A and B are shown apart, each in its own frame.
Chain A
Amino acid sequence: MLLTGNHAVAYGVRDAAAEVIAAYPITPQTQIVEKLAEFVEKGQMRARYVRVESEHSAMAACIAAEACGARSFTATSSQGLLYMSEVVFWAGLGRFPVTMAVVTRTLAPPWSIWNEHMDILSQRDAGWVIMMCENAQEAYDTAIQAFRIAEDERLLQPVMYGLDAFTISHTAEEVDLLEKGDVEGYLPPLDPKKLRVYMDPESPGTFGNLVGPDMMMEMRHSIKEAFERAREVIKGAVKGYERISGRRQAGLIEEYKCRDAEVVIVTMGASSGDAKDAIDALRERGVRAGLVRLRVIRPLPREEILEAVKGAKVVATVDRDYSFGYGGILGGELAGFVKNTMCRFVAGLGGRDLTPEDFQGIALKALDVAEKGEEREEFWWGLKR
């Protein structure tokens, strides 16, 4: 079926039998919530759709629906995600297995609707599993996998997944959909009894009242432990999905020609496809280049990354985001454990085009830096002077 990334998410949420959708429109997420409204109104989904008045209310309603045993979903973008942020943390710290699509978009001011990753990465400490999709097919697949991951009893944490504004959200591609029966086996109905928080008048409990310093650390630690199990949960969900779809799936990371690579580029999201083209072109020119695409950002797949880059002379991270006074966010995170020489690139901010030629240039620059032993670690690629 020919679908945009946004519609692919909506079909995924439909096929995953989400029960409560609460959403507020924002460009470029709108097609997701419009399509879902259509599915619900036309009776193609047995769900309730709460047309809330803000993103803050959207996530609040999703949390509440989960607390009453209903599988819930929302989608947002950019300003909407930041406005929602208080309740995003509420979902993560309260362990409500909501799922959310984030169409990644630049934060204002000044206004911009184009692609950047600062919105989704701003929520990286919220107790959510965070994933990034590479294309419309993966957006559909992730929409289904996200529920399985979130609702896994070993985890029970919310899952958000990003899709790049326009390059994925509005670009139509051929997408394979699953058969209804296959999804039902893969993703059984949500059993409220396994939820950490369930509002059951037959067995009343109070959730979220005051906790003193004597217990809070242990509560936080239990979330940390859940995230230690998250890697296995995600791998299991991916394997199971490969079985029902018959298609190979990226796990925590996707390695592309890393085995003998002297330079490894690290990316996430849509431009990874262009980066792969660059890797192919570089190899034709005799440069041994490879790519690591992070499909999962939280939990950060440290072991997988270390294994993938272990033979490389230099690792080049490409951030479509920036932490002022610190640096590109992924670059900074990898610098914490990668022992190879690193070159941290900031590129494609505010939707600036990132082409295969750019990625070739980035790889060659990184090799050059490694050979010369330059001190400078950060490059703003394509900055106009």
Chain B
Amino acid sequence: MTAMFSIKDLVEEEYTLPGNASCPGCAAALSLRIALKVLGPKTILVVPASCISVIQGYYPKTPCRVPVLNVAFASTAAVGSGMVAALDLKGKSDVKVLCWAGDGGTADIGLQALSGAAERNENMIYVCYDNEAYMNTGTQRSGSTPRTAATTTTVTGKPERKKSVPEIMVAHMVPYVATACAAFPLDFAGKLRRAASMPLRGLKYIHLLSPCPPGWRFPAEKTIEVGRLAVMTGFWILYEWVDGRYNLTGPSKGLLDKSKRRPLRDYLSIQGRFGHLTEKDIESLEEEVEEQWKDFARKMSMT
């Protein structure tokens, strides 16, 4: 189990400065700020085409106080691999490589490079901040968009289910896979710390749900509330997979019992992207959530 990460463990030092170009209420920018506080200044950040490439703002300014390499959309994990090779050769074992890509750059166009890096077990931390659509280009559906969510390319709701990249990473048998949510920053920070401090070399993967006010269509001040509801309704499960075992973490620990979960419609009703759902749609999503938990319970008991 990950040791509890307390707010006192977060350093005061900031590695992303105020004045970046993120939208109000952006969970991705918030989470990156926390991630760099955990990993510290000896971190190289790899960023593909994504909201983060815009959030950095215009050259020659940057909000980042660690080295950042902006890279081609599909290439994130391959760039990380090249860095790891060079740093290893140069004996710079104290420098960490943090790949930070969106769900499009991870689940879709970047999946091949990620799979390659995971299979080679490259010594890096890869965070997918999942805002469940191509947000940088204006909310087109991705492989990580949940079923029924409206996007600009699924205007009546996405017919297909969300692809689980964490489970794809588990299938690669990398040393560490976890999910997280931007609304639970200390849970996320603890997982990053664990990933960074593991003695075992290899690819550590964290899949971070990142609520997006303009894309999910909720008011900017509700980011944390929406993120909390994603977890408390059981729609998004917080867990780790390490040493071949699944562990629930944070509030998800208490949610195996369906009666402890908040009603799913609390999560759906505050987001415009689910505004078109019928009663039947909501019921089928509720079934899907239950099915997801049963599947998870089965995997926990098997390991």
* A residues whose Cβ falls under 8 Å from a Cβ of B: 19-20, 22, 46-54, 56-58, 60-70, 72, 86-87, 90, 197, 199-201, 204-212, 215
Q: Which residues of B contact A206 (CB under 8 A)?
A: 56, 59, 62, 64, 67-68, 70
Question: Chain B contacts of A63 at CB under 8 A?
Answer: 71, 79, 82
A215 CA to B61 CA in the complex, in Å?
13
Quote the shortest CB–CB distance from A80 to chain B (angstroms): 14
Please name 11 pairs of A and B residues whose Cβ atoms are closer than 8 Å in the assembled complex, sorted by A: A58-B78, A67-B86, A90-B72, A199-B69, A200-B67, A201-B42, A208-B68, A208-B71, A210-B56, A210-B57, A210-B58
Q: How many A-B residue pairs have CB under 8 A?
A: 159
Is B223 an interface residue when CB atoms closer than 8 A count as contact?
no
Select B53's contact among A22, A47, A209, A212, beta carbons within 8 Å.
Answer: A209
Docked pose: A204 CA to B85 CA in angstroms: 20
| Interface residue? B65 (CB, 8 A) | yes
Q: Are B86 and A48 closer than 8 Å at their CB atoms?
A: yes
CA distance A221 to B79 in the complex (A): 27
Which residues of chain B from 77 to 95 have any CB-CB distance to chain A below 8 Å in the complex?
A: 77-83, 85-90, 92, 95
The reply to whether A65 and B82 contact each other, CB–CB distance below 8 Å, is yes
Whether A211 lies near B41 (C-beta < 8 A) is no
Contact assessment for B113 and A67 in the assembled complex, using a CB-CB cutoff below 8 Å: no
| Chain B positions near chain A (C-beta within 8 angstroms) | 41-44, 46, 53-54, 56-59, 62, 64-72, 74-75, 77-83, 85-90, 92, 95, 112-113, 115-116, 119-120
Known pairs A22-B78, A54-B112, A56-B72 / 16 extra A-B pairs, C-beta < 8 Å: A48-B85, A53-B116, A54-B113, A58-B78, A61-B82, A70-B89, A87-B75, A201-B44, A204-B41, A204-B64, A204-B65, A206-B67, A207-B68, A209-B59, A209-B62, A210-B54
| A60–B78 touching, CB < 8 Å | yes
A57 neighbours in B (Cβ, 8 Å): 75, 77-78, 81, 112-113, 116
A351 to chain B, nearest CB (A): 31
Q: Tell which of A52, A68, A208 touches B83, judged by Cβ atoms closer than 8 Å.
A: A68
A26 CB to closest chain B CB, in angstroms? 16
> Complex: how many Å from CA A86 to CA B74?
10
Contact assessment for A64 and B70 in the assembled complex, using a CB-CB cutoff below 8 Å = no
- Is the pair B88, A48 in contact by a Cβ cutoff of 8 Å? yes
User: In the bound complex, how far is the Cα of B44 from the Cα of A90, in angstroms?
Assistant: 19
B65 neighbours in A (Cβ, 8 Å): 204
| Contact assessment for B64 and A61 in the assembled complex, using a CB-CB cutoff below 8 Å | no
Closest beta carbon of chain A to B53's beta carbon, Å: 7
Cβ of A47: which chain B residues have Cβ within 8 Å of it? 89
Shortest distance between the CB of A342 and any CB in chain B (Å): 39
Q: Smallest CB–CB gap between A222 and chain B, Å?
A: 14
Determine whether the beta carbon of A209 is less than 8 Å from that of B79.
no
Task: Contacts A67-B83, A209-B56 given; indicate if A56 touches B89 (C-beta within 8 A).
Answer: no
Residues of B within 8 A of A215 (CB): 59
Contact of A53 with B59 at beta-carbon distance under 8 Å, contacts A61-B78, A87-B75 already known: no
A199 to B116, CA, bound (A): 23
Rounded to whole angstroms, the CA-CA distance of A67 and B88 in the bound complex is 14
| Cβ contacts under 8 Å, B79 to chain A | 60-61, 63-64
With CB as the reference atom, state the residue of chain A lying closest to B76.
Answer: A60
CB distance from B14 to the nearest CB of A (A): 13
Residues of A within 8 A of B81 (CB): 22, 50, 52, 57, 61, 64
A70 closest partner in B (C-beta) = B86
The reply to whether B53 and A210 form a contact with Cβ atoms under 8 Å apart is: yes
Q: In angstroms, how far is the closest chain A Cβ from the Cβ of B172?
A: 12
CB-based contact B116/A52 at 8 Å? yes
Closest to A208 in B: B70
Q: Nearest residue in A to B77 (C-beta to C-beta)? A: A57
Contact among B53, B74, B82 with A50 in the assembled complex (CB-CB below 8 Å): B82
B42's nearest neighbour on chain A, judged by CB, is A201
- In the complex, chain A residues whose CB is within 8 Å of the CB of B120: 50-51
Which of A47, A69, A212 has the most CB atoms of chain B within a 10 A radius of its CB? A69
* Residue contact B69 to A56, C-beta cutoff 8 Å: no
* Residues A20 and B86 in contact, CB atoms below 8 Å apart: yes
Say yes or no: B85 contacts A70, CB within 8 Å.
yes
Asked whether, in the complex, the Cβ of A201 is within 8 Å of the Cβ of B82, the reply is: no
Residues of A within 8 A of B80 (CB): 64
Closest to A199 in B: B67
Assembly CA distance A203 to B153 (angstroms): 42
B58: chain A residues within 8 A (beta carbon):
209-212
Closest to B71 in A: A60
Shortest Cβ distance from B75 into chain A, in angstroms? Answer: 4
CB closest chain-B residue, reference A20: B85
The 10 tightest CB contacts between A and B, nearest first, are A64-B82, A61-B82, A208-B70, A53-B116, A57-B78, A60-B75, A68-B86, A206-B62, A70-B86, A48-B85
* A190, chain B: closest CB distance, angstroms: 10
Assess the A54–B116 pair: CB atoms within 8 A. Answer: yes
Give the chain B neighbours of A87 by CB distance below 8 A: 72, 75
Q: Are A60 and B83 interface neighbours, CB within 8 A?
A: no
Measured between alpha carbons, how far is A199 from B79 in the docked complex, in Å? 12
Which residues of chain B are near A199, meaning CB under 8 Å?
A: 44, 67, 69, 83
B52, closest chain A residue (CB): A209
Report yes or no: A46 in contact with B89, Cβ–Cβ below 8 A: yes
CA distance A358 to B3 in the complex (A): 76
Instruction: Return the contact of B95 from the options A201, A209, A211, A212 (Cβ within 8 A).
Output: A201
Q: Chain A residues near B87: list those with CB within 8 A.
A: 68
Q: How far is the CA of A203 from the CA of B86 in the complex (A)?
A: 18
What is the bound-complex CA distance between A205 and B56, given in angstroms?
A: 12
Q: Which of B80, B82, B92 has the largest count of A CB atoms less than 10 A from its CB?
A: B82
- Chain B residues in 8 Å Cβ range of A64: 46, 69, 71, 78-83, 86
Q: Roughly how many angstroms separate A69 CA and B82 CA in the complex, as a whole number?
A: 11
Residue from B74, B75, B90 whose CB has the most chain A CB atoms within 10 Å: B75
Q: What are the residues of chain B within 8 A of A200 when measuring CB–CB?
A: 67
Beta-carbon contact of A204 and B67 below 8 Å: yes
Distance of A205 Cα from B58 Cα, bound (Å): 13
